[in-house]
Amino acid sequence: MLVEDNSDFREEVQFHLQRAGHEIFIAADGAGLDQVLAVHHIEIAVLDLGLPGEDGLSITHRLRMSHPEIRILMLTARSSQHHRISGLEKGADAYLTKPVDMRELCAVIESIRRRISPAVADHRGPGWTLSLSTMTIMTPKGEPITLTPTEMLLLRPLAEAAPDIVSRQQFVKALGHREEDYDYRRLEAVISRLRRKIATSDKESSVIKPARGRGYIFAAPITVIP
């Protein structure tokens, strides 16, 4: 599902997604989205942030309440960390800034599709559980840990990539910064606090492990839920 008010961009995205084999419905605003939802089952919604009338953040929050199974990819020309955090707080699963590379867009959608669980009703899986909507992580012992927006921006790529390595450059991008302007000591400080926070709650060593100077991994089974 694509909700975008710019007709030229909407047609371009529609063309590339259809060529990639996706069935796609289109709408120019929230009202059009509601009309589609009344008739069709939607797995992924691609939302423009700056829509006329009800904006993308409001629609994202509303979808999280009414259709928690729908995964949301937000598109916007606003690339600041503040806007990324706002989108994640409202429930977006991924965030791309315009101008969008169509290959990256298709790759992100494929990544989201692979994470969609066929058993949405059973949210709890083995190991850890990261909840995007509540911004909490549940330990294997059932202890909830509340995350700050910045911690969520860092922990989410770790959970989604597990058990693969997430590089420091990927973390900086997730935070909405440019590599050349970012002080990596800030990143190390935040990750260090996050590692202690999780380790303290679980009474064990942290499951976030350094990967030989290349980045970090989440070294335990983890399920990501809306």
**pLDDT tens per residue across span 6-53:** 999 999 999 999 888 888 999 999 999 999 988 888 889 999 988 989
107 and 134 belong to one structural domain: no
pLDDT tens digits along 91-132: 788 888 888 899 999 988 888 887 664 434 344 445 899 988
Q: Does residue 221 have a pLDDT over 60?
A: yes
- For residue 28, the enclosing domain spans 2-115
Residue finishing a domain among 115, 136, 166: 115
CATH number of the domain that residue 153 is part of: 1.10.10.10
Lowest mean pLDDT segment, chosen from 18-32, 44-58, 131-145, 201-215: 201-215
Q: What is the pLDDT of residue 136?
A: 92
136 and 92 belong to one structural domain: no
CATH number of the domain that residue 89 is part of: 3.40.50.2300
110 and 204 belong to one structural domain: no
105 and 133 belong to one structural domain: no
Number of domains in the chain: 2
Is residue 86 classed exposed, middle or buried when 0-12, 13-18 and 19+ CB atoms within 10 A define those classes?
buried
Q: What is the pLDDT of residue 45?
A: 93
Residue 123 domain flag? no
| pTM of the model as a whole | 0.54
Question: Looking at residues 173-194, what average pLDDT do you find?
Answer: 88
Encoded amino acid at 71, one letter:
R
H helices of the chain, in order, are 7-19, 30-37, 56-66, 81-90, 102-115, 149-161, 168-174, 184-202
100 and 188 belong to one structural domain: no
Q: What is the pLDDT of residue 88?
A: 74
106 and 134 belong to one structural domain: no
